[in-house]
Chain A
Amino acid sequence: AQTVTQSQPEMSVQEAETVTLSCTYDTSESDYYLFWYKQPPSRQMILVIRQEAYKQQNATENRFSVNFQKAAKSFSLKISDSQLGDAAMYFCARKETSGSRLTFGEGTQLTVNP
C-alpha cells in the first residue's frame, strides 16, 4: 500500500514562534498532489495548503508554507508566527493525478502555548 507517514504524533510551539510538521509519502507516480488539512476541536476539516508535484516552487499561504522535496518524498509544513487558533490536528494527504481519492497520514496534534 502506498502510504503517507507523519512521524510526530504531537508537537508544541510557543505563540509567535515557528514550528515545522513533517510528512513523508510513498508513490510510484511522477505526478500527484499533496495537501495539508487542519482539524480543530470542532472536527471540521479545513484545507491549509496544497502543492502540485510538478511545481518546483514551494507553496505559500500567508503564515503557512511547505518544504517540498520530491526526490526525498518529503512534504513538511511550516507555520510562522504561531497563533492560538492554529492549535489543531494537522493531516498530510496525497492524491494521484489519475484518480480522485486521498490517502491521509495519521496526523500531528499541534499545541500552541501562550
Chain B
Amino acid sequence: DGGITQSPKYLFRKEGQNVTLSCEQNLNHDAMYWYRQDPGQGLRLIYYSQIVNDFQKGDIAEGYSVSREKKESFPLTVTSAQKNPTAFYLCASSMGRGSYNEQFFGPGTRLTVL
C-alpha cells in the first residue's frame, strides 16, 4: 500500500538532547513537508523540500534541521536549541509545484520533552 510512515509514534526526550523523527513515503512524491501542531492550534510549517538535496525553511525553522538525501525520506532533527519542542509533528508529501497537488499526511509523532 502506498503511503507515508512516521516513526516513532511517541518519543520522549530529555532536555539538551537532539532527537530525529523519521518520515518515509512510497508515493513517488517530489515534495515533502514537516509541520508542528500545538494543542488547539493549526499546523505550522517547519521545513519543506521540493526536490532531493534541496530544502527551504518554513515559518518556524529555528531549532530544527532536515536533510533530503533520498526522494523517499525526509528526517527532521529537533535540536537542543529548540526552546519548546513538546508538540505533535506531522510529515506530508505531494507531487510538488503546480496544480492543486494535495498534500498527503503521515500519522504523526508525539514528542515530549521530560
In the complex, the answer to whether A35 meets B101 with C-beta atoms within 8 Å is no
Distance from A3 Cβ to chain B, minimum over Cβ atoms (Å): 10
B103 close to A (CB within 8 Å): yes
Could you tell me how many residues of chain B have their Cβ less than 8 Å away from some Cβ of chain A?
Answer: 26
Specify which of B58, B102, B105, B107 is in contact with A101 (CB 8 Å cutoff). B58
A50 touches B94 (CB 8 A): no
Identify which of residues 7-45 in chain B touch chain A, using a CB-to-CB cut-off of 8 Å. Answer: 31, 33, 40-45
Contact B90 A45 (CB under 8 A): yes
User: Residue of A at shortest CB range from B33?
Assistant: A101
User: By the criterion CB–CB under 8 Å, are B103 and A97 in contact?
Assistant: no
Residues on A with beta carbons closer than 8 Å to the beta carbon of B58: 101
Please determine whether A104 and B42 come into contact, CB atoms closer than 8 angstroms.
Answer: yes
Name the residue of chain A whose CB is nearest to the CB of B107. Answer: A44
Say yes or no: B90 contacts A97, CB within 8 Å. Answer: no
Q: Are B97 and A99 in contact (CB under 8 A)?
A: yes
| A102: Cβ under 8 A from any B Cβ | yes
Contact A100 B48 (CB under 8 A): yes
Are A100 and B107 in contact, CB atoms less than 8 angstroms apart? no
Query: Residue A100 contacts which of B31, B43, B105, B108 (CB distance < 8 angstroms)?
Result: B31
B-side residues, CB < 8 A to A, are 31, 33, 40-45, 48, 50, 58, 88, 90, 92, 94, 96-98, 100-105, 107-108
What are some 23 contacts across the A-B interface (CB < 8 A)? A4-B42, A35-B100, A42-B107, A43-B107, A44-B105, A44-B108, A45-B105, A47-B102, A50-B100, A91-B42, A91-B43, A97-B98, A100-B31, A100-B48, A100-B50, A100-B94, A100-B97, A101-B45, A102-B43, A104-B44, A105-B42, A106-B41, A107-B42
